[in-house]
């Protein structure tokens, strides 16, 4: 019981620190941001709210000003089941990429952050 309380407390501390140190959003002209929004429409992030790796990934998403749908794989049975059935494992963070009728599941925070950086930072 003590360990669970400690994990919950540390998780909330991580979320609080993320909130007070969140990076600024990238500013783009409206027409460019509209293109980014359209390109990001097929992306969704499966995550746990207090997971440190998910926090890092969300910080990158926030900094790049990307409207990516967040899926709660811990508290939403539907999202958890989708992650397991289609992604293959309940492992977060996981970026679901839907493009040209194909779905790709990308695991590992570093890989996801690099993908987002490479794809959207140049806009």
pTM: 0.89
Q: Quick one: the chain helix, strand, coil %, rounded to 5?
A: 50, 15, 30
- Tens digits of per-residue pLDDT, 27-84? 999 999 999 999 999 999 999 999 999 999 999 999 999 999 999 999 999 999 999 9
Kindly state which CATH superfamily the domain 40-123 is placed in: Glutaredoxin (3.40.30.10)
Burial 68-86 (b: 16+ CB within 10 A, else e): beebebeeeeebbebbeee
CA distance 18 to 38: 27
């Amino acid at each position: 019981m003590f360990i669970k309380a400690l994990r919950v407390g540390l998780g909330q501390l991580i979320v609080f620190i993320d909130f007070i140190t969140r990076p600024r959003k990238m500013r783009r002209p409206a027409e460019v941001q509209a293109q980014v929004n359209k390109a990001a429409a097929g992306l969704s992030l499966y995550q746990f709210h207090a997971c440190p790796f998910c926090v890092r990934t969300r910080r990158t998403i926030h900094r790049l000003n990307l409207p990516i749908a967040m899926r709660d794989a811990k508290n939403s049975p539907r999202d958890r089941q989708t992650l397991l059935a289609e992604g293959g494992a309940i492992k977060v963070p996981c970026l679901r990429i839907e493009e040209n009728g194909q779905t790709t599941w990308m695991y590992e925070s570093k890989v996801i952050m690099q993908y987002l950086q490479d794809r959207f930072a140049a806009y």
